[in-house]
């Protein structure tokens, strides 16, 4: 039986509160009242996101022979977005409530008595009075150059994918690639979402991790299956519970304008099952449209073959992945009669891998040993030194930011050169030699 409810202590509100309290995520421009669905990332948020990007890059590029990287511009020639279909079809159906003046996506309305009331209408009244749906283009507009007229109109990219398609010729003529091969890109995208919300789940400015995989048309369905399995595996390998991950094929009427088929990797967030990542079979839609619009041939030419490759696209987002990893990792428990909040993040995702704590912050011999170990550790992994406050309080702080290992320097260290290694999840403490502690943690991190 498929789970219908998130298993765990997390709620979006608790995650947002912890993220703010511990310096992961802050509301953007807060001193001016904030900006709808924009967030800033603090120190630990920056480290977590960098680790997510690193893991994606490692599995998508570094550990493969068939992948190359790209970093294309955010503002492209506006003709790109005409040819891609985004100017004409990248719409959400929008309805206004005449009573409370709020706007909603028509496709997010719950079926209710009248069939048209939003499921979570903030000022919901029985007389909710909605307009007919109308199309709203999600692309942010800007102007390039000194004049603000039709001719200078440009867009902030709503997906990174198009930067890849328009570089197909550059990549195939400059790098040693041959279908099946992929071009992977990480970067900011922008959408003027109508109903953003749920913390960093749906943002107006977000970061995507997308890969376009170019294959011979006859092999496309096989690769479509392959990438679905591969992307599911990746999320689970980094700690998402299997019971919180499912694959859901799109119905024909929900397919994006470019897609022949699509399957979402869905995650059971505390708000229910939602798209975490999309895997789309884009056919030759993009290469064909850009070739027609630009007059440039975008095809694969081999010794005795010539064809327009088909594309499989796994497309995810750093912000949404961060939220899923935080929700899955969040735990509350009572230990020895005291409540403990802990982020059981996968060690490779944890912002800080190890904390070095002298038991008595005022003992200069302990501080000296602890500083020495910390300075050695931080050369090979993200580490923290903390000698302020009682040891229990310091552990609690490290638990809340998800640090997997704590190293405590105490009186015994000064006698026999050993330190206490505390495990975040089991709370087990073992005595290990200070000498070689960095290598031991390095090995554990590599094996995790």
Determine how β-strand 261-269 pairs with β-strand 272-283: antiparallel
Nearer to ligand GAP, 116 or 157 (CB): 157
d(CA 184, CA 160): 10
How many residues does the structure list for the chain? 448
Minimum distance between the CB of residue 72 and ligand GAP, rounded to whole angstroms?
Answer: 13
Tokens of 118: 């939003």
Question: Residue 275 CB, nearest distance to ligand GAP (Å)?
Answer: 5
Nearer to ligand GAP, 312 or 329 (CB): 312
Q: For ligand GAP, which is the closer residue by CB, 35 or 365?
A: 35
Nearest distance in Å: CB 152, ligand GAP: 26
Q: Closest approach of Cβ 190 to ligand GAP, in Å? A: 9
Nearer to ligand GAP, 312 or 434 (CB): 312
Q: Which is nearer to ligand GAP, 199 or 395 (CB)?
A: 199
> Would you give the DSSP letter of residue 176?
-
User: Looking at beta carbons only, is 185 or 413 nearer to ligand GAP?
Assistant: 185
Q: Which is nearer to ligand GAP, 264 or 399 (CB)?
A: 264
Distance CA 274, CA 271 (A): 8
Cβ of residue 160: shortest distance to ligand GAP, in angstroms? 7
Closest to 363 measured CA to CA, from 432, 413, 438? 413
Contact 414, 370 (CB under 8 A): no
CB of 45 to ligand GAP, least distance (A): 14
Q: What b/e string do you get for 190-207 counting C-beta neighbours within 10 Å, with b at 16 or more?
A: bbbbbbbebbbbbbbbbb
**Residue in the shown chain whose Cβ atom is closest to ligand GAP:** 317
Q: Dihedral of the CA atoms 250, 254, 258, 259 (nearest 10)?
A: 20
CA distance 438 to 448: 15
Q: In what order do the strands lie in the sheet with 134-137?
A: 103-105, 91-96, 134-137
CB of 210 to ligand GAP, least distance (A): 5
Q: Which CB sits closer to ligand GAP, 210 or 386?
A: 210
Nearest distance in Å: CB 41, ligand GAP: 13
CA dist., res. 73 & res. 187, Å (int): 9
Q: How far apart are CA 435 and CA 68, in angstroms?
A: 40
Q: Identify the DSSP state of 82.
A: H
Query: Nearer to ligand GAP by C-beta: 318 or 437?
Result: 318
- Comparison of 265 and 421: residue with beta carbon closer to ligand GAP: 265
**Cβ 200 to ligand GAP shortest distance, Å:** 7
By CB under 6 A, name the binding residues for ligand GAP.
159, 161, 191, 193, 202-203, 206, 208, 210, 275, 277-278, 313, 315-317, 319-320
Integer Cα distance of 304 and 40 in angstroms: 52
CB of 106 to ligand GAP, least distance (A): 17
CA of 330: how far to CAs of 99, 355, 405, 425, in Å?
39, 19, 17, 12
> What is residue 323's three-state secondary structure?
helix
Where b means 16+ CB within 10 Å and e means fewer, 242-280 reads eebbbeeebeeeeeeebbbbbbbbbbbbbeebbbbbbbb
In angstroms, the CA 154 to CA 159 distance is 14
């Amino acid at each position: 039986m498929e789970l219908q409810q998130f298993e765990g202590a997390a709620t979006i509100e608790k995650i947002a509160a912890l993220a703010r309290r511990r310096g992961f995520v802050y509301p953007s421009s807060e001193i001016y009242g904030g900006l709808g669905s924009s967030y800033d990332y603090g120190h630990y948020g920056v480290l977590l996101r960098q680790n997510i990007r690193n893991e994606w890059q490692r599995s998508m590029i570094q550990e493969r022979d068939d992948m190359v990287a790209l970093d294309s511009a955010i503002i492209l020639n506006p003709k790109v977005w005409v040819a891609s279909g985004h100017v004409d079809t990248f719409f959400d159906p929008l309805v206004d409530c005449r009573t409370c003046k709020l706007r909603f996506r028509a496709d997010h309305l719950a079926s209710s008595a009248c069939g048209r009331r939003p499921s979570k209408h903030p000022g919901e009244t029985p007389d909710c009075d909605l307009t007919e749906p109308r199309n709203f283009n999600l692309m942010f507009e800007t102007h390039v150059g000194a004049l603000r007229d039709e001719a200078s109109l440009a867009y902030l990219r709503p997906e990174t994918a198009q930067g890849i398609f328009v570089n197909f010729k550059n990549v195939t003529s400059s790098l040693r690639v041959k279908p099946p091969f992929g071009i992977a890109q990480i970067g900011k995208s922008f959408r003027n979402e109508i109903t953003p919300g749920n913390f960093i789940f749906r943002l107006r400015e977000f970061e995507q991790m997308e890969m376009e995989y170019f294959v011979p048309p006859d092999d496309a369905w096989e690769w479509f299956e392959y990438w679905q399995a591969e992307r599911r595996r990746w999320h689970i390998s980094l700690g998402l519970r299997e019971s919180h991950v499912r694959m859901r094929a799109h119905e024909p009427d929900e397919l994006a304008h470019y897609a022949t088929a699509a399957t979402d990797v869905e995650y059971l967030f505390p708000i229910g099952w939602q798209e975490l990542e999309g895997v789309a079979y884009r056919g030759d839609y993009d290469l064909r449209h850009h070739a027609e619009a630009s007059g440039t041939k975008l095809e694969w030419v081999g010794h005795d073959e010539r064809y327009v490759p088909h594309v499989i696209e796994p497309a995810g987002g750093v912000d949404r992945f961060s939220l899923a990893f935080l929700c899955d990792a969040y735990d509350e428990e009572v230990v020895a009669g005291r409540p403990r909040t802990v982020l059981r993040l996968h060690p490779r995702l944890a912002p800080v891998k190890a904390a070095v704590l002298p038991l008595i912050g005022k003992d200069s011999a302990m501080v000296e040993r602890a500083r020495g170990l910390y300075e050695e550790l931080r050369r090979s992994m993200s580490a923290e030194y903390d000698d302020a406050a009682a040891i229990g309080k310091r552990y609690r702080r490290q638990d809340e930011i998800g640090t997997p290992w704590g190293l405590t320097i105490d009186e015994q260290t000064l006698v026999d050169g050993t330190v206490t290694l505390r495990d975040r999840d089991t709370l087990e403490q073992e005595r290990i030699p200070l000498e070689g502690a960095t290598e031991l943690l390095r090995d554990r991190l590599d094996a995790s």
